[in-house]
Amino acid sequence: METPSQGADNPNGGVRTEIPEIQSELSTGHVIYATVAAFLAWVFSVYDYILFGTLLPPIRDEFGWSTPFATGLATIIGVGTFLVALAVGPFVDYLGRRTMMLITVAGAALSSGLTALTPSAVYLVVVRTLGGLGYSEQAVNASYLAEIYGRRQRRGFIYGFVQGGWPVGALLAAAMSAWLVPLIGWRGSFLVATFPAIAIVVMRLWLKESPKWEAMQVIRKLEKEGRHEEAVEFGRHYDIDIHHTEETTIRQLFEPDIRWHTIFLSLGFFSQWFGVQVFAVLGTTVLTEGKGTSFGSALTVLIVANAAAYVGYITHGFVGDIIGRRLTTAGGWILCSIAYAIMLLGPSSPGFVLTMYTIGLFFLVGPAASFFFFMGESFPTRVRGTGTAFVNSVGPLGAIVGGALFTAALAAGIGMIWSAFIVGVTGILIGGLCILGTRDVKDPHQAEVLPADESVATS
Q: What pLDDT digit, counting tens, does each position of 396-406 carry?
A: 889 889 988 98
Most confident stretch, 37-46, 411-420, 429-438? 429-438
CA gap 339, 214 in Å, rounded: 45
CA atoms within 13 A on the CB side of 53: 16
Q: What is the spatial distance between Cα 420 and Cα 280, in angstroms, rounded to a whole number?
A: 12
- Average pLDDT for residues 368-386, to the nearest whole number? 89
Query: Within 225-294, where are the H helices?
Result: 228-237, 249-252, 259-275, 283-285
Query: How many residues does the structure list for the chain?
Result: 459
Question: CATH number of the domain at 28-209, out of 3.40.228.10, 3.30.930.10, 3.90.1200.10, 1.20.1250.20?
Answer: 1.20.1250.20
**Cα(303)–Cα(300) distance, integer angstroms:** 5
Alpha helices in 324-383 (DSSP H): 325-345, 350-365, 368-378
What ranges do the domains of the chain cover?
28-209, 210-240, 249-447
What is the dihedral sign for C-alpha 378, 438, 330, 164? positive
Packing angle between helix 97-115 and helix 121-129, nearest 10 degrees?
160
d(CA 333, CA 217): 37
This model's pTM is above 0.75: yes
Residues 6+ apart with CB under 8 A from 264: 434, 435, 437, 438
Same fold, 28-209 and 249-447: yes
Contacts of 331 (CB under 8 A, 6+ apart): 432
Can you identify the CATH homologous superfamily of domain 249-447?
MFS general substrate transporter like domains (1.20.1250.20)
Cβ-based neighbours of 69, under 8 Å, separated by 6 or more: 60, 121
| For residues 166-189, average pLDDT | 83
**CA-CA distance, 141 to 162, in Å (whole number)?**
9
pLDDT of 9 > 90? The answer is no
Q: Give the lowest-confidence range in 22-26, 385-389, 430-434.
A: 22-26
- CB burial of 135-156 (b: ≥16 within 10 Å; e: otherwise) equals bbbbbbbbbbbbbbbbeeeebb
**Which amino acid is residue 422, in one-letter code?**
I
